[in-house]
Amino acid sequence: MAKPVTLKELSKKEILFASGHRLCAGCGAPIIVKMVLLASDYPLIAANATGCLEVSSCISDYTAWKIPWIHNAFENAAATLSGVETMYRSLKKQGKIDKDIKFIAFGGDGGTYDIGLQSLSGAMERGHDMLYICYDNGAYMNTGIQRSSATPLGADTTTRPAGSVVPGKTEQRKNLTKIMAAHNIPYAAQASPSHWADLVRKVRKALDIPGPKFMNIISPCNRGWRSRTDDAIMLSRLAVETCYWPLYEIENGVTKITFKPREKKPIIDFLKPQGRFKHLFKPDAEDFLKRIQDDIDKEWERLQKEEACFSS
């Protein structure tokens, strides 16, 4: 296994996602992109689903990308990149390209969990050599915080607002990482920008594995989460420490939890700083909060058991 990288080493590399992008102050997405691009020692080509990252990074004559980059539409980043990767294989076979290039797709949760799921599933099943990264901020943030299948239980969104009858989202999140792992791809993982070393290590590992890979990375959005501009890293850390967003990887079918909090924090630590959950802290919402905690406990239990299956 490659030795862990230090920030000092990483800081000597060129950042291939330039300043001057127009993502909101304190957005999690550019932090993730920066880490992903820094992690790679390979030349990269990226595809991007329509969304915050895409519209903010490439406008008119301005592109923040210093690597070749393509945006096609909302639901087809994986299919688009499968086209790019296939042309690469074709031209390489013909001797027209000699470099080893790696391919990464970036999509938000709307473009990945919802509208782009078929395209992603198809690309993974076909076995293209690509890493698909979902930056999951838990709603359609680009269009103004609408509910997605990645929106957490109880969250207030503009299409499922917490009202006198409806307590925000009443359904659980889709477990996309599990769905992707069920494609029997060689590598699927969850990461968080708070745990940069874990994230960088996973990207490096994924890029070294031939074939389709998937990473789901939590991406705080202070506009949609109704939180402060300075708390993206703090909240993503709390997401990990409460086991709302467990850090794990599934490599060739073997599950490994890559970070276990010494003391699992209660979910309210993650929910409380976020305005999208503030209705859950009214006296009559206790049962709902308990349901959220129960769901997280159950999934964390399940994940640990899954890991235990392989550790003997």
Partner 1 sequence: MAKIVAVTGNEAVANALRQVNPDVCAAYPITPQTDMMQRFSGFVSDGKVKTEIILVESEHSSMSACVGASAAGGRVITATSSQGLALMNEILYIASGTRLPIVMPVVNRALSAPLNIHGDHSDAMGARDSGWIQLWSENAQEAYDNTIQAFRIAEHMDIRLPVMICLDGFIISHSIERIEYLEDEQVQNFVGEFKQLYPLLDLAHPVSYGPLILPDYYMEFRKAQAEVNTKVPEVVLDVAADFEKISGRKYGLFETYRLEDAEIGIVILNSAAGTTKDVIDEFRNKGIKAGLLKPRLYRPFPYVETGEALKHLKALCVLDRADSFGSSFSPVYMDIASSLYPYNDKPILINKIYGLGGRDYLPEHAEIVLNELIDIAETGNVKSYKEYIGVRE
Partner 2 sequence: MKLKNWKEVNPGSVITEPGSSEKFKTGSWRSSKPIWIEENCIQCLFCWIYCPDNAIKVKDGKRGEFDYEYCKGCGICALECPGKKGNKAIIMVEEGK
For helices 77-93 and 117-126, the axis angle rounded to 10 degrees is 30
Question: Can residue 192 be called a binding residue for partner 1 (CB under 8 A)?
Answer: no
**How many angstroms from the chain centroid is the CA of residue 56?**
18
Close Cβ partners of 277 (under 8 Å, ≥ 6 residues apart) = 154, 155, 156, 168, 271
Nearer to partner 1, 65 or 225 (CB): 65
Residue 17 binding result from partner 1, partner 2, none, given CB thresholds of 5 to 8 Å by partner type: partner 2
Residue carrying the six token digits 């390489």: 92
d(CA 36, CA 106): 10
Among 70, 179, 209, 233, contact with partner 1 (rule: CB under 8 A): 70
d(CA 34, CA 67): 12
Among 1, 2, 3, 25, contact with partner 2 (rule: CB under 8 A): 25
What is the separation, in whole angstroms, between the first and last Cα of the chain?
21
Question: Can residue 43 be called a binding residue for partner 1 (CB under 8 A)?
Answer: yes
Residue 4 binding result from partner 1, partner 2, none, given CB thresholds of 5 to 8 Å by partner type: none
Of 60-68, 133-141, 153-161, 179-187, which segment contacts partner 1 by CB under 8 A?
Answer: 60-68
Residue 94 binding result from partner 2, partner 1, none, given CB thresholds of 5 to 8 Å by partner type: partner 1
In the chain, count H helices and then E strands. Answer: 11, 10
* Shortest distance in whole angstroms from residue 228 CB to partner 2: 8
Q: Scanning residues 98 to 157, which ones bind partner 1 (CB under 8 A)?
A: 99, 101, 118-119, 121-123, 125-126
Q: What is the dihedral of CA 96, 100, 106, 112, to 10 degrees?
A: 80
Question: Can residue 287 be called a binding residue for partner 2 (CB under 8 A)?
Answer: no
Residue 12 binding result from partner 2, partner 1, none, given CB thresholds of 5 to 8 Å by partner type: partner 2
d(CA 103, CA 123): 12
Site residues (vs partner 2, CB under 8 A): 7-12, 15, 17-31, 34-35, 57-59, 61-67, 193, 196, 228-234
